[in-house]
A and B are shown apart, each in its own frame.
Chain A
């Protein structure tokens, strides 16, 4: 995380466009109301999969789909309703979905535009623990980890030092009955044709969420189902997105995400990495 600190300090030394003097200041942070905003980025990237023996996930396309009405909005799979939008803060009711399931399933919404990564492709065998006193984390076929939507509230706080997002959401369909929370700080720059932003992200996942996705079921491995005890934890991450504006419609897009998984999640025998990182380089077209 020293690299993160360095990037943060470097970011603060550059001129800002992040301050919000009005509800919507620059073209980059605004969207036209009552009009679909559609776009697609085509290029190459990769998302590492922390699950043991699951393949990393190539990234070929990134879509963007958004529609904002007077109060309602739909943005990249999130449905929201703005309760208030003020100069220095906003408050929304929102839905979201967990990114954890995406590691298990090809057709999770997070993976729709990514190449296949599924349990069928997993080899589910590992020889990495040969020296351990514990039994090898070899699993039978994994049980389902179902999709669910989370619903809750999010607040944005705008300041000269960037935008802070605070969110709390809970499982709406009794799939795992868990909750998630997020603290996210985003800072943006606009330098001639470059538009960049960087975020530091802290994601909290309740015991139920961690247990549902990363816990071991008895049918998968009886020993590990008894010896791994899920607990709530905080993922920590950094996100960077840079766009180079070519024309009104075309941008070059550079994106990078890194998530350090919570110790409580990394301890799961289903995982053999304690992080997930994603990068993407491509050309983006906005319709």
Chain B
């Protein structure tokens, strides 16, 4: 695949003050639970009041991040809309499950069912922007956003689109937090983001967010050079894959000056991050999970954070490495266009 993929614009809704465009990383103080929520922007400038009332939380987050990304990119109708979400609208899925039980399957309101459909955010973006082009949604844990990125790169390579709107969204709810706490997703003791990476126990802090990017074939400041995904790899396979990935772009580990790492304080998977840091020895390392928490599509916040770091810091080559609970591993390579 030969096409160039540049990043024209982006927007993120996250537990940080990200929506306004800046990024001054701030570690939150958690109370009670190992869970962080996004700072929700004022949606009224993006979504008409009638729609706003009906829409559930992640739909508003996803749609607004997408619309803000288009505004920031000075674009209206992209050539494709591609998203990733691990959980879709949890709030609606939960609501419909509860309604089925509460009302014994009778007189159910269809809205939560419709909104629980994983592609509903994509449909809303297309509807609001009147975009009738390619539209796709990936729903695969730590390969949701990542395949949205690969699909975008293919769209550009095929020449089907010159601008692709790609992004990801996921929310955390109390109910889902509890469910995942039963199978070790989160740390048992209250852990502050500032202490997350020093932890020697399993689990992480739950997070959420929505981030969108406008990928284009027209040159701009930062180029997404490539993406490599690995499914349930061994440590050796990850090391080999990173080496091959870098050399396929004529780079050595020493030439990478920024490593944006998805290290999440889960001691069970720390070795993967340790190895990558050893292979990229001279880079400044930025750990993004203390700022957004762990979720299926945290990699999208990772890409957003990498771009912000590259804008503020003289990095020419940046690698993003993330894995989701040791199963889905991804490398991305960003290069500053000089």
| B and A form one assembly | no
Which A positions have Cβ atoms within 8 angstroms of B? none
